[in-house]
Chain A
Amino acid sequence: MAFQMTRRSFLQASASAALTTALSGWLVSGAQAKSGFVRKPFTAPGSFGDTTTVSGSFCEMCFWRCQLVGKLRDGKLVKLEGNPKSVDNGVSICARGNAGVKLLYDQDRLKYPLKNVGKRGAPVWKRISWDEALDECASRLQGVIKNNGAQGIAMFPHGCSATYPMHYFEHVVGTPNVSEASFFQCRGPRDMAYLNTLGVQADESVDMPNAKAILLVGTHIGENIHVSHVKQYLKGLENGAKLIVIDPRFSSSASKADIWVQIKPGTDTAFLLAIMNYLVKKGAYDKAYVQKNGEGFDKFTKAIAHADLDWAAKICDVPAAQIKEVADLLAKNAPHVSIHPGRHVTWYGNDFQRERALACLTGLLGAIGVKGGFVKGKGPKLANVSWPNIAGEHAEEFALHKKAEKHVFSPPGTPTQMLRDAAISNKPYPINACIAWGQNPIQTIPGQQDTIKMLQKMDFVMVVDVMPTDITMYADILLPELSYLERYDYFVKSGVQWNLNDKHQQYIAPRTPLVSSLSADHQRKDSVWITNELAKRMGHAEHIPAATTEELLDKVLAGGNISLAQIKKENGIHLQPGSDPYGVSYPVKFFNDELADAGYPGVPNYTPVPEPPKGFARLVYGRVPVHTFNRSQNNVWLNAEMPENPIWLNHETAHKLGLKSGDRVNLVNQDGVISATTSILKVTQGIRKDTIFTAHGYGTKNPAMTNAANKGIDDQALITKPAVDPETGAHGMRTSFVRIMKDGKVLNIPV
């Protein structure tokens, strides 16, 4: 449009009576916003541009929680580094940790409470006030409680910020229907198997720096980056540890291995049983340790007596001689061997048994409490402060797996599959409200169509997150959280120095903000504030354990005789003398009575998993070093590093199909589900012919994630038939079989 008038002439004319009147009328109305500026004389910054270092906090680009410092230039966070005071990650952080800066300033971040005035799945957002948002959440949740009871609320939490609201909903509101991805789609089978074998949490408590041999089953350190853990692993290799890697794929760990066992996927437990049977028969195990600490060893040896090397060789599709070689190498270096428990272990729906086998092998080798073995650092004590448990009994009574007498060895919370089935079917009781807090169930839980069905039938869906992840599209009310860089958190990272062989030290590092959150550009809040405000509106004000996150943290820290103020003075990490973690022994339940009584195998056993149908290969997935599954996909730096997830295909297969590296392909699963997007093919000798590998967490669907949307293939969408681990109720997610589709043509995978 061409103006008739110049600005100059307009402004000259602005003395015109009507305009002057209108202008003064507007000025008098006083409806102008508060100024975004204050006056401040300028002082020229020095050559460092007023760069300051803020110490404290820890990373949440993944959940290893490396301790940080932030470099701020004039209030803007310009760089993150490891905290030099850290005895854990030290000055190092990984690519994702570095890229946290780009999460802070991601243009797609959630900024204000939003109300969905469109439909679930196709939202239209209206910005609303916190009061309106919280009032609505409270009244809608109370409506569900009134009609269906507290158990009518399902919650999917993840991460530090979700713990406090999770405790509120479990212990004060009284719903048992809380399902954490970190258990049921990740660590659950491991944690429960070790608890029920060695009596302690597994974590990743293997003393790799001081090991003479390290066994990794599927674990791919290097592609899986947790800084202090990688340091432990590399120190072990540097010190000459022999590395054994069991993996159908030539992972980064396999590339460093002394022995790489290219096992057929799904058969690891058979492999482990054969090793143990061989060691028992040969008498090459730690008899003293077993005699002193073993329980049910006779029943164990009898139950695995069938598992000879040839039996396993056939099942695992590897040479018997190689299994023997692994067993001999472990025996030769015992007890200084690290039998790695793994981390993301929800593979086939029989994972508890595999993890039990790993724990038993650890015990059999006497690799407990000794240099290089399974050793737990003795961390500092802190207080346990949270909501009072006033409704726990109610929750217990309605726990789905307890009512059904299933999944007796479930980790805390309700197995996701049972929860979702109940919500969809209204049996045994209706579940009509859903809360996702820091978790993206669209991407974390297999069987996406069922998850969507569950969300669509709810009376109310509330989502709290930092980014507009896929789940946020299904929210009725969407609440924006502060990021880990701007908030205190109800979590204190604590532990011991990364190498147990070094001077014994304990550390305490609470999460504190590295940058201010004071801004007119958003109204994000932390989860303690959000939960407290919700609790007030739901009639639970009297139970609020602390008014602010700082207060809550101080109460937790008081248990360690330290305060937040003191730790801030100490640059974010409090160090104190530790103690020698070696010399501890744990009982080893080779045969577990409780398991047997509950109808599960008392001795680790191998259950075959379904074979790929003709023309299909098994889809397995793993991590890449620059992403934390789906969580980091939108980060502009990380996205630039690895925007897509290459599809690994065996080179001979590719040759037969006329495919080459760089081809764009879809995957099609056994149920005919075609990946919504394509990705690039990676043709390699480093994978078995019956296996296709890709990285997990790609293919974000929400277009509000500008960088991530529709990049790479969403493997979760292809996991339409997840298995469920009988003991724990955790999902098995390497249960899909796929073919490759190129240019619309589906190609059979030759045998």
Chain B
Amino acid sequence: MNNSKSNNHADFYGFLAQSFRYPEQAWLGEPYFDLLDSIVQNLDLDNDTLGLRQTYCANQEGLEILQIEYTRLFINATPSVIAPPYSSVYLDQEGNLYGPSAVWVRRFYQQNGFELAGDADIPDHLALELEFIALLIDEHQEEVAEQFLNEHFRRWFPLFRARVLSGSTNKFYSTLLTLVDFFTREEP
């Protein structure tokens, strides 16, 4: 019982990690939006997930809008990227990638038995950090996950979230940021 419940929890984080990868038709299908609906409903949020489904699910035009928005928010943009999804940009003085906080994150992954798949992967990408939490919870290491959230994630995610919200009105990402906040915030 405990076991299946715990795995369940891990999957929510896996879902959030997936949500911050580049939007592609392959994963933005009905099952994705079914789950998104269900989570939002269970949380009693008033976010319009039906609208999101209509705009982005199996809709080439909508998908393209989301891809352009993702590119603008997180990859490359003119005038400038709104919110690079890496902790170093928010926590480390120079605003470069792979700063001290990213080094800390990588060491934390390693200490817990995980290594990045790509030799040159940047450790502190939002999607990677969320996936890492999913992996920990899947292994019943909730305390380690809490330590990661407490010592690292919560220090930068609010700054990142604020930058996205101040530079974008996109409902998909604002909804997901709300969910990430819910699943990562400190609770008494």
Interface residues of A (CB under 8 A from B): 1, 3-8, 10-11, 13-16, 18-23, 25-29, 31-42, 73-76, 102, 105-108, 110-112, 114, 117, 122-127, 468, 473, 486, 515-521, 636-637, 702-704, 706-707, 709
Contacts and interface: CB of A to CB of B under 8 A. Distances in A.
B27 A515 contact: no
A114 B76 contact: yes
Contact of A31 (B32, B41, B183): B32
B119 A105 contact: no
Given A127-B67, A703-B79, A27 B183 contact: no
B118 A519 contact: yes
Interface string B111-135: 1111111111110010110011001
Nearest to A75: B119
Interface in B45-102: 45, 64, 67-68, 70-72, 75-81, 84, 86, 88-89, 94-99, 102
A111 to B, nearest CB: 5
A128 B103 CA distance: 30
A519 B75 contact: no
Contacts of B41: 18
A102 B39 CA distance: 41
B78 A123 contact: yes
Contacts of A4: 43-44
A107 B97 contact: yes
B117 A125 contact: no
Interface residues of B, number: 78
Contact of A19 (B21, B39, B135): B39
A26 B31 contact: yes
Given A22-B34, A35-B131, A126-B68, A110 B76 contact: yes
Contacts of A521: 118, 120-122, 125
A523 to B, nearest CB: 10
A117 B47 CA distance: 29
Contact of B96 (A1, A5, A636): A636
Given A520-B117, A704-B76, A5 B43 contact: yes
B151 interface: no
Given A40-B110, A105-B96, A22 B35 contact: yes
Contact of B38 (A19, A41, A42, A517): A19
Majority-rule SS of A interface residues: loop
Nearest to B26: A31
Contacts of B79: 703-704
B150 interface: no
Nearest to A126: B68
A452 to B, nearest CB: 15
A33 B68 contact: no
Given A7-B185, A105-B97, A519 B119 contact: yes
B18 A33 contact: yes
A510 B14 CA distance: 43
B113 A102 contact: no
B44 to A, nearest CB: 5
A106 B120 contact: no
B32 A26 contact: yes
Contact of A3 (B27, B43, B119, B122): B43
Nearest to B182: A3
Contact of A124 (B22, B44, B68, B183): B68
Interface string B9-25: 10110110110011000
B88 to A, nearest CB: 8
A11 B21 CA distance: 24
B114 A39 contact: yes
A28 B35 CA distance: 12
A305 B15 CA distance: 85
A125 B44 contact: no
A706 B112 CA distance: 35
Contacts of A486: 120
A20 B116 CA distance: 30
Contacts of B94: 102, 636-637
A704 B80 contact: yes
A468 B187 contact: no
B148 interface: no
Nearest to B186: A7
Nearest to A116: B78
A73 B110 CA distance: 14
Nearest to A121: B78
16 contacts: A1-B178, A5-B42, A5-B44, A14-B5, A31-B18, A36-B116, A37-B117, A39-B113, A74-B106, A76-B98, A107-B89, A107-B96, A516-B119, A521-B121, A704-B76, A706-B95
A7 B182 contact: yes
A42 B38 CA distance: 38
A19 B42 contact: yes
B131 A37 contact: yes
Contacts of B106: 74-76
A123 B77 CA distance: 8
Contact of A107 (B27, B44, B81, B135): B81
B109 interface: yes
Q: 7 smallest A-B Cβ distances: which pairs? A: A516-B119, A703-B79, A31-B27, A29-B31, A22-B38, A519-B120, A40-B115
B120 A7 contact: no
Contacts of B35: 22-23, 25-26
Contacts of A126: 64, 67-68, 71
Contact of A36 (B31, B45, B121): B121
A27 B12 CA distance: 10
A131 to B, nearest CB: 14
Contacts of B44: 4-5
B19 to A, nearest CB: 10
Contacts of B98: 76, 105
A25 B31 contact: yes
Nearest to B107: A74
B71 A125 contact: yes
B27 to A, nearest CB: 4
A3, A22, A473, A518: which has the most chain B beta carbons within 10 Å?
A22
A33 B27 contact: yes
B167 interface: no
A6 B42 CA distance: 11
Interface string B132-155: 100100000000000000000000
A107 B32 CA distance: 30
